[in-house]
Amino acid sequence: MTHDALLSLLHDVAQGRRTPDEAVEAARGFVDLGFANVDVDRAERRGLPEVVFGLGKTSTQVADICRALHERGQRALATRLEPEVAEEVRSRLDDLPIEYDATARCLAIQPAVRAPDETRCRGPVLVVAAGTADRPVAAEAAFAARLCGNPVEELHDVGVAGLHRLLAHLDQLRSAAVLIIVAGLEGALPSVVAGLVGRPVIAVPTSVGYGASFGGVAALLGMLNSCAAGVTVVNIDNGFGAAYAATLMNRLD
Amino acid sequence: MTHDALLSLLHDVAQGRRTPDEAVEAARGFVDLGFANVDVDRAERRGLPEVVFGLGKTSTQVADICRALHERGQRALATRLEPEVAEEVRSRLDDLPIEYDATARCLAIQPAVRAPDETRCRGPVLVVAAGTADRPVAAEAAFAARLCGNPVEELHDVGVAGLHRLLAHLDQLRSAAVLIIVAGLEGALPSVVAGLVGRPVIAVPTSVGYGASFGGVAALLGMLNSCAAGVTVVNIDNGFGAAYAATLMNRLD
Amino acid sequence: MTHDALLSLLHDVAQGRRTPDEAVEAARGFVDLGFANVDVDRAERRGLPEVVFGLGKTSTQVADICRALHERGQRALATRLEPEVAEEVRSRLDDLPIEYDATARCLAIQPAVRAPDETRCRGPVLVVAAGTADRPVAAEAAFAARLCGNPVEELHDVGVAGLHRLLAHLDQLRSAAVLIIVAGLEGALPSVVAGLVGRPVIAVPTSVGYGASFGGVAALLGMLNSCAAGVTVVNIDNGFGAAYAATLMNRLD
Amino acid sequence: MTHDALLSLLHDVAQGRRTPDEAVEAARGFVDLGFANVDVDRAERRGLPEVVFGLGKTSTQVADICRALHERGQRALATRLEPEVAEEVRSRLDDLPIEYDATARCLAIQPAVRAPDETRCRGPVLVVAAGTADRPVAAEAAFAARLCGNPVEELHDVGVAGLHRLLAHLDQLRSAAVLIIVAGLEGALPSVVAGLVGRPVIAVPTSVGYGASFGGVAALLGMLNSCAAGVTVVNIDNGFGAAYAATLMNRLD
Amino acid sequence: MTHDALLSLLHDVAQGRRTPDEAVEAARGFVDLGFANVDVDRAERRGLPEVVFGLGKTSTQVADICRALHERGQRALATRLEPEVAEEVRSRLDDLPIEYDATARCLAIQPAVRAPDETRCRGPVLVVAAGTADRPVAAEAAFAARLCGNPVEELHDVGVAGLHRLLAHLDQLRSAAVLIIVAGLEGALPSVVAGLVGRPVIAVPTSVGYGASFGGVAALLGMLNSCAAGVTVVNIDNGFGAAYAATLMNRLD
Amino acid sequence: MTHDALLSLLHDVAQGRRTPDEAVEAARGFVDLGFANVDVDRAERRGLPEVVFGLGKTSTQVADICRALHERGQRALATRLEPEVAEEVRSRLDDLPIEYDATARCLAIQPAVRAPDETRCRGPVLVVAAGTADRPVAAEAAFAARLCGNPVEELHDVGVAGLHRLLAHLDQLRSAAVLIIVAGLEGALPSVVAGLVGRPVIAVPTSVGYGASFGGVAALLGMLNSCAAGVTVVNIDNGFGAAYAATLMNRLD
Amino acid sequence: MTHDALLSLLHDVAQGRRTPDEAVEAARGFVDLGFANVDVDRAERRGLPEVVFGLGKTSTQVADICRALHERGQRALATRLEPEVAEEVRSRLDDLPIEYDATARCLAIQPAVRAPDETRCRGPVLVVAAGTADRPVAAEAAFAARLCGNPVEELHDVGVAGLHRLLAHLDQLRSAAVLIIVAGLEGALPSVVAGLVGRPVIAVPTSVGYGASFGGVAALLGMLNSCAAGVTVVNIDNGFGAAYAATLMNRLD
Amino acid sequence: MTHDALLSLLHDVAQGRRTPDEAVEAARGFVDLGFANVDVDRAERRGLPEVVFGLGKTSTQVADICRALHERGQRALATRLEPEVAEEVRSRLDDLPIEYDATARCLAIQPAVRAPDETRCRGPVLVVAAGTADRPVAAEAAFAARLCGNPVEELHDVGVAGLHRLLAHLDQLRSAAVLIIVAGLEGALPSVVAGLVGRPVIAVPTSVGYGASFGGVAALLGMLNSCAAGVTVVNIDNGFGAAYAATLMNRLD
């Protein structure tokens, strides 16, 4: 916590804008929910609030963390929520304006007042999926990138086995500010795309495949060994992580 | 090749600025050296010229490719050159202004006229190395990032086993435009740093370690699974790739 | 069996305190239940009785081993019991004082007379979980450590992506006698904690994660390669094993 | 051995064209050199004679097997021979017409009478190498394919990071009868090429790369998971095997 | 698209045989279904139309792609369709002549006019399965090979543990134009067969096995390391890919 | 087929003991059931008839193969049959004397006339299981070994964490003719036992464990690296294979 | 830095015991040597000073770090130093009292004043090596443990293939305060020892072995899966790490 | 030590046949050489004396252990000794009758009096090597098997790519008492051989190969997954272990 932030906090208490309890929490930078310490300082430090990874959490836990973020004026995003879990979360938060995208398995709650700085971007984030089966991961990336304030465009089913499908969109590829390339199987698409453009390319391997794809390992290794310089890679199926990184690369402030 | 570029090319021939042979080469976008097809169009497409990966190439091959790039007005960069190979390259190119950094194992030849657009950047690229043994990879990243026109800063030996060494440089971490974090062993440093800053973090695992580090695999997996959102990863020991990606993220044009 | 122990056993038989059958069993040090040889001598050799690993055992088998231990005055602990199995065990042992913790999936039966030496400890065992999803493994560690006579404290959701959550508890970290650090994903928390304290740190990787976490392998490798000296590691998700080791480190006798 | 072959053999003995010893050897189909059983029947069964894998054999062993094949009128090919070993073999066989290619590390001795059926082919075998460092493996493939009677063409350094280099040779790609695609790193080239042509594509992963290429595993997995149907794969660096397979696909008889 | 093809297309529009919309689609070479870009140019480029990989697609998606192919006069083939999914596809396409093979899990729709060039082959494709459990993969290969216009023969349960079962069919092995060898466990059959014949052998590892077969990895590695030269390999369980490759090797045009 | 066997076969036909069809089948050595070629010659070649691996076979297939073996006077053994499958097989073969062991998941049908040579053995086969959870694999080994004519003894739950349980049975260990040691986790038991006895020790790793046991890989590697010379190893969970090998070692003929 | 420590530091400056420069360094807790930030606060935080991992450092770097530690009154320990490197370090530090152990490859410099608290221990640390080839790792553990103030005992070549060699030292095993068990191959020794004692057992896998030992992976997995509860594990060949952990467990303060 | 053995030992002392020191050593069953505890009781327990694994031992250590065994009337065998090391051992033991086989890299010293029971065997041990490059491992197996008293036969270069070479020796295969099959690459030979014989087959994978052979892993997995029942496997390149196991299977006593 910076000196200025602390001073401002103390003024708030002095003038009754915060209770002492609220000030202690703000000074610590996290909210203790018992089962979780919500990092409410993250938006300050990183420019983007904490995100709830839904896998392995109960709907009650997801709902409680979302509410805690919302109550502190932050945007809530939860990923990896199956529709039935999302439905339970929604019923627990039925007073809040929830969006849910079943393909992306993402849920979001916009804050009452949107942060203006999230919308100053260098240009569109383009999410490209190699095959039809890669769509859920691409959808997660697109949902999260949009929520973080980026203009988002999408291209689907433009894998390297039929290059003309990709080359037909060359202008779109070249006008993007950041590209997120989602591919399973051998994961060759990021190399081909990166060779054609002069912007950051984030490669997302997916677990699409069978046999020697080993749940996405073949695609992951392909992307890490890309012959096109400058490709960076995130974990298998990690559409959200790619969107988060793209936002950091895209925003101007 | 765009329509405009083609038209301009034909004008050059008509006015004697290029021979027809040179025009064919320019139209094709690559120079055939017999053993290699140098991609002289890459600077156009990607904003950065082709780079020579030195491992497994003879000094003659490295020298010939560098000369071909230089003759076409492009900057030449060769990586993974051991000192004795670099010395041979230098003797073959003794008419050119060669720089060589033995720690980074990188060699560069600046073009006669430097491209002005390489220097409009968002801010400094900060290269952080977790341990002393990670320095050669960090040096490769720093050398390449500088060559690509970024202001570069460096921090060494600030691994997570003694957090105070890292936290002592918090301001520098937060004022960087892009961060390249180089670490071997368990590769935990990118997670810690990414949690503290709001800029793109590129993680470079190194092969530093022994036993169950498996030549950098432990660090690579650690970085791919970072609990701090938005970390992107390059191949083990790939300092150059991180610098290339950082440049794409950093430059404004 | 030592000479003294044998002599004492023979006295017991001579004075009717044990039947000859009981004496044979005691001399052999194990009870043959047909499907299992319960190691009733383990409490003598290791200071802690045999523990029942529930996975892959029927509720009848678990119940029979627990009863055998209880009948010989030893504490019974069974791990990895899903609630429905635990319920069946309870119904088979409804004459005994069973405790069951559904989060930890552990069941325990205290002996009629508690061993006094279990409670002389150096200080508290602190169980720290990096994320909310790591709680079941942390709960197993805490349950088992408590049962073995240690004072136990717990910290949750203090992962390295938000260091201030961890640093807020620095005093508690430094006053623990032994620390059990439970983490999935990249498993960086033990390195950070171990760098801050002067007590034994036992790292427990968890299978929390997806993609390149490979069921906990990324965390396991991270912990084995910790840059903080002196971290020791147990198997993935092995909360119980960490508690057992912590007890051996903590007790004074 | 077929009935006709046996009959013909017996006629040879009856008419003094073979000694009984030679006939026994022919009937058995192999020559016992003590350390090796040379399969002299292979040319009959498979249409191509046995090939000597040089790695791990002494120069004496290589020379003896080559001579045994030559004496029976068969072509001798030895692969994976370093120049110094090849020189020793040559000195042991200085009465025979030896060819040696140092890049391919292959040695060959043509038979006195060349088999006519080896030259009826469907068309050229095209060997394509993704990068300069893949050349030795490509050279092995080209050398062996030529020796087996195929017209051979070669393309070098046409990796997917600069697609225009590849597309400039589209006609040549499409006029080949069989294509051997040699690539290291992520091994994406076979997918791109196979998507463009209607002929068999044999993919050869190479050990070119570092870090997460794992000695060619990344390229191998990429090729096995190719999104372009019909790509078949051979072992890492196995240029010879690809040439052998290409010959079986190419020859008409 | 070649110059001739473009000219022909424009004539079609001029003479009302295609609408301008249809001409644009033909010129682009793919049909955009929203969720997929069907590569209708593939039959032109590769001689075989696009194939639908069923795994991970909804029955609606499969049906829509099949219909798009059928409407453009191309044969539709979908693989990896479980019976219940196939039934749904069939109900959506009940106006079309669907074939479905439950063992092969393949569905096909023949075009109204069959391409004549698909039937000029060098000879039969022989599909050989090592064990009874390998039959589904062999059936996929046989179904696809037949559909692509090859005469197909099949052999089952001729694994190397009882060589006489294989040797009893030596004539059939030797009269095949291309051989597809399907095997799990140690995957030794392709080596033995390839040693006996002079035609291309495509090895298909299957996931049949347990323990150290690692889902087909043991068979895959065995085949990649075959001591019989010229064996080429496809992904684990990839019967279709083997059939596609066999067709490219077998057809004469 | 030996000359004598062929002669005997022809006599059988001459004297009406076999139809010509039966003689052809006997000469070929296998029975073609369409989906399987039952190797009825195996008992002749190897001294033990073919065994049905149940996993992945339908109950009809299992029943048909068993009947085929039984009709030719051979013992039928099927392994890896879950109780419900076994029940279906039994209902299809209700005219035959079926034994089924649910723990071993093995089913057997004794031939009308038992082969006398199966019972001349060197001594007992001792099956030792390290833990209670290893029992199903041990039971498979014991069932199969008994069926093959060996006297069989069993020891359970004598893992190395409580050595006295093992040492209590030292005489039994030393009087066995062959030892089958079944263990999961770290698989240390075979090393300890082999160090104590002078008879063949067959180690069977089991998939018992979690986390870094990787489905039995830890135990498998432990056994392959045993510091006690002469331990040989079979696949993970392969109780039957161990019994088969033990029979070959144990029988005298 | 605690409040008391800061106060004491300021007193030092006031009274001339430290220059202001020295005070800044002490307040930061590390010394910047340019290539390294020596963590001079570690002895305060962890009770043991920083240790120099020699692998990949030049002799100059090692010497400079050692001198920096020595000048601040701390003990210097450098591990993984080959004799020739150690000799160079010694010549650079010939004014200091260096100890070097060639088997352990460790070098140490005692501080002028030894810290008294290092010698209050619970009892001896016993280092046990399974085989002769494991000695260098055991020697590293013993050297480091002694240096850290523990009484150290050693046992060699007591592997499980000859249990009597181990059991002959049962008393010594049981009287140790902490046990470090060093083993390669299958790594079974820690399980056997831990089953016999009631003290912490630290298992150190070594890279001793060949083939499927995979450079120590077999031993590592064996130890992580130990059936004896409470075994904790360090990285392959990490004798120093085991000693460090043992010291934290053993010391009383 | 049995009661009888102890009694006999005491008689020896009483009658001056052993000194008390010798008796203590005999009672303990091992000789402490400082760096090694030679297990002189092993010949008693296992029927075969301890063997010296040469890798990683100095020539002095090897010589000292060999002498210790020889002085106690036991046969000494040392494996994995390179010629130069063997020469040093020989010079240290020049008073003893040393045999050394450079291909097998084995050294042996026969005891003055050979144990008679080593020569009662069931029949020949047949060592079969698939390829020429597998010979060193096969030679180790043959050397060790001969030394242990077995009649040994050898077959070389009979891999499955040319089955007729193997089938030409069918009688020899069938008359062996135990078969050791040595193979690299895909390791298919043990399956083929085991399918033809009724005796124990021990499979030895070798590290012969390249690329996806992964240093013998492909062969190892192939053998563990053999479709021929009853094959047992030893570690990669472990010719000695196979010989040891074969001896235990072959001897009659």
H182 φ, ψ to 5°?
-110, 120
Nearest CA in chain E to D180: E232
Chain centroid, CA C249 distance in Å: 13
Q: What is the pLDDT of residue F119?
A: 59
Other C-beta atoms lying within 10 Å of the C-beta of residue G40: 22
> Which residues of G are less than 8 Å from H205 in CB distance?
211
Q: F41-54, pLDDT tens digit by residue?
A: 898 899 899 999 99
Say what percent of chain C tops pLDDT 70: 96
**What pLDDT band is residue A204 in, cutting at 50, 70 and 90?**
very high
Q: What is the pLDDT of residue A116?
A: 53
Nearest CA in chain B to D162: B39
Using the predicted structure, report yes or no on whether residue A178 has a pLDDT greater than 60. yes
Q: F160-202, pLDDT tens digit by residue?
A: 999 999 999 999 999 999 999 999 999 999 999 999 999 999 9
Using the predicted structure, report yes or no on whether residue H167 has a pLDDT greater than 90. yes
List of chains touching A (3+ CB pairs within 8 A): B, C, D, E
pLDDT, mean of residues D58-73: 94
Structure tokens at H75: 């046969």
Give the mutation candidate from A132, A160, A173, A208 for the D interface (greatest D CB count, under 10 A).
A160
Using the predicted structure, report yes or no on whether residue G4 has a pLDDT greater than 80. no
Say what percent of chain B tops pLDDT 70: 96
Q: What is the largest CA-CA distance in chain F?
A: 66
Nearest CA in chain E to F43: E162
**G168/H30 CB distance under 8 A:** yes
**What pLDDT band is residue E120 in, cutting at 50, 70 and 90?**
confident
> Which residues of A are less than 8 Å from C165 in CB distance?
29-30, 37, 39
Q: What is the pLDDT of residue C112?
A: 76
> Which residues of H are less than 8 Å from G162 in CB distance?
29-30, 37, 39, 41-42, 50
Min Cα–Cα distance to chain E from F238, Å: 8
Q: Taking the CA atoms of chain H, what radius of gyration do you get in angstroms?
A: 20
Angle ∠(C53,C234,G55) on CA atoms, nearest 5: 160
Residues of A with CB under 8 A from a CB of E: 132-133, 135, 156-158, 161-162, 164-165, 168, 208, 210-213
* pTM for this model (two decimals): 0.95
**Average confidence score pLDDT of chain E:** 92
Between the CA of residue H87 and those of A219, G80, H96, what are the distances in Å? 52, 31, 13
- A and G touch per CB criterion (3+ pairs under 8 A): no
Q: What is the pLDDT of residue C10?
A: 80
Q: What is the pLDDT of residue F164?
A: 92
pLDDT, mean of residues D229-250: 97
Chain centroid, CA F129 distance in Å: 16
pLDDT, mean of residues E75-99: 96
Q: Which of E131, E203, E185 is nearest to H223 (CA)?
A: E185
Considering only the beta carbons, identify the residue of G160, G214, G221 that sits closest to F195.
G160
Pairing, β H106-109 against β H76-79: antiparallel
* C-alpha–C-alpha distance, residues H206 and H231, integer Å: 16
- Top mean pLDDT of E12-16, G15-19, G220-224 is at G220-224
> Which of B112-126, C144-158, D84-98, H177-191 has the lowest average pLDDT?
B112-126
CA dihedral G83, G87, G92, G97 (to 10 degrees): 90
pLDDT, mean of residues F6-21: 82
Min Cα–Cα distance to chain F from H155, Å: 21
**What pLDDT band is residue C19 in, cutting at 50, 70 and 90?**
confident
Packing angle between helix D217-224 and helix A217-224, nearest 10 degrees?
A: 130
Q: Taking the CA atoms of chain C, what radius of gyration do you get in angstroms?
A: 20
Considering only the beta carbons, identify the residue of A30, A53, A236 that sits closest to C162.
A30
- The burial of G2, by beta-carbon neighbours within 10 Å (0-12 exposed, 13-18 middle, 19 or more buried), is given as exposed
**H164/D28 CB distance under 8 A:** yes
**G46/C200 CB distance under 8 A:** no
Q: What is the pLDDT of residue D3?
A: 66
Using the predicted structure, report yes or no on whether residue C250 has a pLDDT greater than 80. yes
Q: Which of B132, B121, B140 is nearest to B183 (CA)?
A: B132
CB B129 within 8 A of CB B182: yes
Going F174 to F177 to F178 to F179, the CA torsion angle's sign is negative
Give the mutation candidate from D132, D167, D207 for the B interface (greatest B CB count, under 10 A).
D132
> Which residues of A are less than 8 Å from D161 in CB distance?
191, 194-195, 226-229
The position carrying tokens 């030792």 is F128
Using the predicted structure, report yes or no on whether residue H116 has a pLDDT greater than 60. no
**Average confidence score pLDDT of chain G:** 92
Using the predicted structure, report yes or no on whether residue G113 has a pLDDT greater than 90. no
Nearest CA in chain H to F245: H230
Nearest CA in chain G to H36: G157
pLDDT, mean of residues D2-9: 72
Q: What is the pLDDT of residue G2?
A: 60
pLDDT, mean of residues F2-16: 78
| Backbone torsion region of residue E111, taken as left when φ is above 0, otherwise alpha when ψ lies between -120 and 50, otherwise beta | beta
In sequence order, what are the beta bridge partners of D53?
A: D79
CB C156 within 8 A of CB C135: yes
List of chains touching G (3+ CB pairs within 8 A): B, C, F, H
On the CB side of E173, CA atoms within 13 Å amount to 23
Report the SS3 class of residue H242: helix
**What pLDDT band is residue G20 in, cutting at 50, 70 and 90?**
confident
**D229/E241 CB distance under 8 A:** yes
**B230/A220 CB distance under 8 A:** no
**A225/D217 CB distance under 8 A:** no
**What pLDDT band is residue B24 in, cutting at 50, 70 and 90?**
confident
CB H242 within 8 A of CB H181: no
> Which residues of G are less than 8 Å from B168 in CB distance?
28, 30
> Which residues of B are less than 8 Å from C213 in CB distance?
221, 225
CB B81 within 8 A of CB B73: no
CB G209 within 8 A of CB G216: yes
**What pLDDT band is residue F144 in, cutting at 50, 70 and 90?**
very high
Q: What is the pLDDT of residue F115?
A: 58
b/e burial code for range E150-170 (CB count within 10 A of at least 16 → b)? bebbbbbbbbbbbbbbbebee
Q: What is the pLDDT of residue B2?
A: 60
**G39/B165 CB distance under 8 A:** yes
Q: What is the pLDDT of residue A158?
A: 94
Using the predicted structure, report yes or no on whether residue F92 has a pLDDT greater than 80. yes
CB G201 within 8 A of CB G231: yes
Q: C88-138, pLDDT tens digit by residue?
A: 999 999 999 999 999 999 999 998 776 555 458 999 999 999 999 999 999
**H41/G132 CB distance under 8 A:** no
**D35/H135 CB distance under 8 A:** yes
Using the predicted structure, report yes or no on whether residue G32 has a pLDDT greater than 60. yes
Report the SS3 class of residue G181: strand
Q: What is the pLDDT of residue B21?
A: 80
Min Cα–Cα distance to chain E from F105, Å: 15
Residues of B with CB under 8 A from a CB of A: 42, 45-48, 51, 194-202, 220, 224-225, 229-235, 240-242, 244-245, 247-249
Question: Which amino acid, one-letter code, is at D99?
Answer: E
Min Cα–Cα distance to chain B from G169, Å: 30
Q: What is the pLDDT of residue A13?
A: 84
pLDDT, mean of residues H13-30: 84
* C-alpha–C-alpha distance, residues C202 and G122, integer Å: 19
Q: What is the pLDDT of residue D26?
A: 80
Considering only the beta carbons, identify the residue of F42, F57, F237 that sits closest to E211.
F237
**G227/F191 CB distance under 8 A:** no
List of chains touching D (3+ CB pairs within 8 A): A, B, E, H
Considering only the beta carbons, identify the residue of E198, E220, E244 that sits closest to D45.
E198
CB G72 within 8 A of CB G65: no
* C-alpha–C-alpha distance, residues G158 and G166, integer Å: 5
CB F75 within 8 A of CB F69: yes
> Which residues of E are less than 8 Å from H196 in CB distance?
163
Using the predicted structure, report yes or no on whether residue B117 has a pLDDT greater than 60. no
> Which of E22-26, E237-241, F198-202, F244-248 has the lowest average pLDDT?
E22-26
Considering only the beta carbons, identify the residue of D185, D195, D211 that sits closest to A227.
D185
Q: What is the pLDDT of residue H103?
A: 95
Q: H66-104, pLDDT tens digit by residue?
A: 999 999 999 999 999 999 999 999 999 999 999 999 999
Q: What is the pLDDT of residue B27?
A: 83
**What pLDDT band is residue E154 in, cutting at 50, 70 and 90?**
very high
Q: What is the pLDDT of residue F61?
A: 95
**H165/D29 CB distance under 8 A:** yes
Q: What is the pLDDT of residue A121?
A: 92
Using the predicted structure, report yes or no on whether residue F2 has a pLDDT greater than 70. no
Nearest CA in chain B to C224: B212
* C-alpha–C-alpha distance, residues A195 and A189, integer Å: 10
CB D232 within 8 A of CB E234: yes
Give the mutation candidate from H213, H214, H221 for the E interface (greatest E CB count, under 10 A).
H221
Considering only the beta carbons, identify the residue of H36, H55, H205 that sits closest to G157.
H36
* C-alpha–C-alpha distance, residues F246 and F141, integer Å: 9
Helices (H) and strands (E) in chain D, counts: 11, 11
Min Cα–Cα distance to chain B from G184, Å: 12
**H221/E218 CB distance under 8 A:** yes
Give the mutation candidate from A227, A231, A232, A236 for the D interface (greatest D CB count, under 10 A).
A227
Q: D216-225, pLDDT tens digit by residue?
A: 999 999 999 9
Q: What is the pLDDT of residue C1?
A: 57
> Which residues of C are less than 8 Å from F164 in CB distance?
28-30, 41
Structure tokens at E250: 């077998």
The DSSP-derived string for G44-63 is HHHSS---EE-TT--HHHHH
**B200/A245 CB distance under 8 A:** yes
